[in-house]
Amino acid sequence: MSNYIRVFTGNFIEVQRIFKALEKVNICAIIKDESESGRLAGFGASIQGLQEIHVHKEELEKATPLVESLTKELEA
């Protein structure tokens, strides 16, 4: 079982914005890009262009309010 939990899925620009905001508050996040991984391996992906941000489960409580706040800004 993974120690990382997905907190956001979106396009490259949205993911970069949220990733940088998490970095600023010392949350170590990782970006997972299934379509790029599949392309490099020679496979296609079901949804092109979407990336995921994952944070360690110990930082989830700190990351969630920030991600929710930024997601609301992106929707506005």
Q: What does pLDDT average to over the chain?
A: 85
**What's the pLDDT tens digit per position in 50-66?**
899 999 999 999 999 99
pTM for the predicted model, two decimal places: 0.79
Structure tokens at 72: 């609301």
Residue extents of the structural domains in the chain:
4-75
Instruction: Select 4-75's CATH number: 2.40.50, 3.40.50, 3.40.1170, 3.30.70.
Output: 3.30.70
Buried b (16+ CB within 10 A) or exposed e, 2-17: eebeebbebeeebbee
For 6-34, what is each residue's pLDDT tens digit?
Answer: 999 999 999 999 999 999 999 999 999 87
